[in-house]
Structure 1
Amino acid sequence: MIKKGIGRQIVMHYFIVVFVTLFMVEIIFSLAIRVYYYDTVYNHMYTHSTWTSDYFQKFGRLSSDRDPGYFTEMLQTFELDNTELMILSRNGDVLASSNALQADKAVQTSDVSQAVSGSVGKWIGRQPSTGEMVMAVSMPLMERGENRFVVRFVTSLERINANLMKLTLLSIGVCLAVLALVTLFSVGLANSIVKPINNIRAVSAQMAKGRFDIRIRGKYPYELGELAETLNYMAKEIVRSNQIKDDFISSISHELRTPLTGIKGWSETLTIGGFDPEETRLGIGIISKETDRLIGLVEEMLDFSKLQQNEMKLVISRVNLKELLQETMLNVWAKAEQKGIQIKLEDETEQPVTVMGDGNRLKQVFLNLVDNAIKFSHENSWIHLVVSLKEDNRVLVQVVDSGIGISEEHLNKVKDRFFQVNHQGGGTGLGLAITQQLVELHHGDIDLQSELGVGTTVLVELPLAEPEEQTGEEDLASTEGESSDE
């Protein structure tokens, strides 16, 4: 007995479908074979009835009334094997019969009535005298256009019905054999589906308990194989995400401890007093610098949290992209100067470039990209910001550096949250993840191209703003709506 579940459902569905199909086929087959046999018998008797009627029309009027033995001669001429031939009067009285035992009563079946009315009659029923199933075919015998007598052929259907029963039982046996084979096949099919599902379910239950080191073994076909691969991939990604999270916690703990240690140390030192103004100014400067660093780390995590929860609000306006990039270069100029890095803006558009977006957030995007380029570039190298237009009404900004580059192994992961190629480089590993989401909020795309030891190119695509005369009213409405939300 198959226990409840998908396996039983599959077997039951197969069984029901095949059973109903075979049942309908059996009924149609039984009816068809019965009709075929019965029609064959009917056609045979009908043909002989026609011959008898034709013979009577040609020769009957010469002898039927004057020669009592005429009907006997007709019986001998048109008699059929295993069939009783009868000549009846219009009232159904038996005038002659090939059966030695003639009926005492008049024949009143429907076939005789039809023949008396001038048509061919057919009747299937039980013979009153014997109780057996018979078929009777009656036809009028016409003389000079007048219906004088009725010729009636009667044959037993018992042997035919017996043969039909044998064929029916045989066909039922075949159907039962087919049904048994289909049931066995469906059980095998159900097991081939249920066993992998049970295996996948067992492994999934272990994964639900936190055991992400186990994997679904075996090669499964079609959707089951895809499901197994998806679960294995999910477990692999969870392990990787947990590892990245652990690395992030370790890294952020170090990033937070370092400035806090400096702030605490200088605070205690300055509390003691006795320092000259220069030393005091140095200590306060370090405290201020480390405080800014802490604020930057916290703001980065807050921005990421807002983006994850879809709570980041953008103040949309028309932004001059070239001016924004120039401001970005000025903001990082001092940091680049310390490493002797030259930053250059290359304009390939030769026209104003305006986009619709939040200027502060777009500036955050390019500040993060340029800051990363400076961080991972060699001393006395260069960084180029290239602005160009694309055919699909979009602008492309490329941040190109000649730094250390990124290996192919890490290139697809650098935009993942918490991921850091170099954990000693500082930071939270959220910068590129935040950058990507901000670009996507502006309906743009970001892509990275890099070669280890050669450099990195970050490509940012943004949609251009419509001409101002077409969008002035829309911008005003958008600004008013955002102001009311705030």
Structure 2
Amino acid sequence: MIKKGITRQIVLHYFFVVFLALLLVEFVFMLAVQRYYYESIYNTISTHISNSKDFFEPIARENTTEDGNNLSRLLVNLALSNTELEILDLNGRVLASSTAFESDRAVLQTSDIMQALNGDMGRWIGRQPGTGESVMAVSHKFDLGGENTYVIRYLTSLEDVNSKLLNMGLLAAAVGVGVLAIVLIISIGMANSIVRPINNITAVSAQMARGRLDVRVKGNYKHELGELASTLNFMAHEIVRSNQIKDDFISSISHELRTPLTSIKGWSETLDSGGYDPEETRIGMGIISKETERLIGLVEEMLDFSKLQQNQMKLVKGTVNIREIVQETMLNVWAKAEQKQVHLKLETDETRAYNVHGDGNRLKQVFLNVVDNAIKFSHENSWIFLSVKEENGQIIAAVQDTGIGISEEHLIKVRDRFFQVNHQNGGTGLGLAITQELVELHEGTITMQSELGSGTTVTVTLPAVAEEMGPEESVTQSGDTAVPEERAASDTKSDLEKS
């Protein structure tokens, strides 16, 4: 007995389908064979009747004699081997029979006689009264002239034919049982070929669920099972990679937080000890203030990412001029660019308004992050080109640098959360992930093209608006849509230092 499970279901389904197909085929086959045999018998008798009628009726009409002689001649001339010949009057009473039955038999009223009286070749299949034997009767009317009109009825047994049909049916049933047995064996093997890989995949999945992410599904499985195994292995690989990225992030953010905290603690203790002139005190307070701002930036970046992940990012949307946003961004990073001797150049049409419907502070955060990264990874005395243009109802803002670039391997991962190409550059690895989420909240797209050693081009595409929008409205992220919400006071502050 096959235990419950997929194997049993597959075997039963195959078995049931094949069983029904065999049953239908054998039923149709037996009907066709039976019809063939019965039609052969009928055609033999009906042909004999037709030939006899064509030959005997003209002769009988020319030599009409008394009734008894006519009946005797009919019995002799119309006889057919392996059949009983009966001569009936028009009322269905048997006048004579080749088996010498008495003529006072009951009146016959089978359908073949009725058809014969109507001038057709009548046929009837049924049980012979008294004996219960299966027979076929074929009848036709003979007109010998005058009042000498009779119904000629041939009666033949179907027992031999039915016996042969029964043997043939038993043979077909035996063949069907053999076919079902073969199907059962094949379906069990086929089911096992499917279930065995599934059991293997299930076992590996259970190990992964218990934390064994180093295990993999082994085996060269085909079709959907192969895709399932590959997907599971890929999932495990991605979980391991995500865990590694998370661990790197924790290590990196711990270092990022510890460095300013150490400076703040050191200068706080130094200033607390007293004895310093105002200049040293001013320097110490400046360092404390700068490191505090750095801490605030790191914490706010992590808070922004948390809000985006929980669909709680609030947007204050209105009509925003992207050219002005880019110009303000350049002013904010000008000092940092000057310090590294990096030159910024904006290429745009000053006479046009490149308006979009969005949150100006959040869009500024997008461009601050992109331009800050361009400066961070550019060489000294290099150029960064910024451009804003409109094409096909889209505002396209691009930032192109000639810096170190990104390899193709890292380019597909650089927008993943916590990912950093070089952990020594500091940061949380969340900047580009947050940037992409913010752009998508504005129904836009961000693309990156880069070549290692040749620089990077980041392109932000946003839907343009043709007319001035109404008053600003506060909206909050909810999946892929934004719904109105009262603006919180904490969201009015623009963080220009965020990267």
Residues 143, 78 of structure 1: CA spacing in aligned structure 2 closer, same or farther, 3 A cutoff? Answer: closer
Tell me, in whole angstroms, the C-alpha distance in 1 between the residues paired with 2:150 and 2:77.
17
Tell me, in whole angstroms, the C-alpha distance in 2 between the residues paired with 1:103 and 1:302.
115
2:471 equivalent among 469, 476, 484:
476
More helix by share: 1
**For 1:125, what is the secondary structure of its paired residue?**
strand
- After TM superposition, list the pairs within 5 Å mapping 1:198-213 onto structure 2: 198-213=199-214
Distance apart, 1:155 and its partner CA: 0.8
> What's the counterpart of residue 31 of structure 1?
31
Amino acid in the other structure paired with 1:258: T
1:238 aligns with 2:233: no
**For 1:155, what is the secondary structure of its paired residue?**
strand
Amino acid in the other structure paired with 1:27: F
Distance apart, 1:206 and its partner CA: 0.9
> What's the counterpart of residue 172 of structure 2?
171
Check conservation: 2:64, 2:145, Cα contact below 8 A. no
Amino acid in the other structure paired with 2:15: F
Check conservation: 1:443, 1:463, Cα contact below 8 A. yes
Distance apart, 1:249 and its partner CA: 0.3
**Structure 1: unaligned runs, 5 residues or longer:** none
Amino acid in the other structure paired with 1:272: S
Distance apart, 1:106 and its partner CA: 3.8
**For 1:315, what is the secondary structure of its paired residue?**
strand
1:381 aligns with 2:386: no
- After TM superposition, list the pairs within 5 Å mapping 1:82-97 onto structure 2: 82-90=82-90, 92-97=92-97
* Deviates most, 347-356 or 227-236: 347-356
> What's the counterpart of residue 271 of structure 2?
270
- After TM superposition, list the pairs within 5 Å mapping 1:319-468 onto structure 2: 319-347=320-348, 351-390=352-391, 392-468=392-468
Amino acid in the other structure paired with 1:408: E
Tell me, in whole angstroms, the C-alpha distance in 1 between the residues paired with 2:311 and 2:346.
33
**Cα RMSD over matched residues?**
2.4
Residues 214, 222 of structure 1: CA spacing in aligned structure 2 closer, same or farther, 3 A cutoff? Answer: same
- After TM superposition, list the pairs within 5 Å mapping 1:288-303 onto structure 2: 288-303=289-304
1:73-125: CA deviation from partner (whole Å, max 9, x where unpaired) = 33232221211112233455544333356676345241445545665443323
Amino acid in the other structure paired with 2:431: G
- After TM superposition, list the pairs within 5 Å mapping 1:47-196 onto structure 2: 47-55=47-55, 57-63=57-63, 65-66=65-66, 68-90=68-90, 92-99=92-99, 105-106=105-106, 108-110=108-110, 111-112=112-113, 115=116, 120-128=121-129, 130-144=131-145, 148-196=149-197
Q: TM-score, normalised by structure 2?
A: 0.90
> What's the counterpart of residue 497 of structure 2?
none
Tell me, in whole angstroms, the C-alpha distance in 1 between the residues paired with 2:104 and 2:189.
67
Tell me, in whole angstroms, the C-alpha distance in 2 between the residues paired with 1:103 and 1:204.
90
Tell me, in whole angstroms, the C-alpha distance in 1 between the residues paired with 2:131 and 2:321.
112
Residues 477, 139 of structure 1: CA spacing in aligned structure 2 closer, same or farther, 3 A cutoff? Answer: farther
Tell me, in whole angstroms, the C-alpha distance in 2 between the residues paired with 1:158 and 1:357.
94
Residues 39, 103 of structure 1: CA spacing in aligned structure 2 closer, same or farther, 3 A cutoff? Answer: farther
Amino acid in the other structure paired with 1:293: R
Amino acid in the other structure paired with 1:400: Q
1:154-176: CA deviation from partner (whole Å, max 9, x where unpaired) = 11111111111122122222222
Amino acid in the other structure paired with 2:261: L
Tell me, in whole angstroms, the C-alpha distance in 2 between the residues paired with 1:422 and 1:197.
41
**For 2:10, what is the secondary structure of its paired residue?**
helix
Tell me, in whole angstroms, the C-alpha distance in 2 between the residues paired with 1:323 and 1:109.
109
**For 2:315, what is the secondary structure of its paired residue?**
coil
Check conservation: 2:322, 2:356, Cα contact below 8 A. yes
1:44-86: CA deviation from partner (whole Å, max 9, x where unpaired) = 2223233444455423345454373443333232221211112
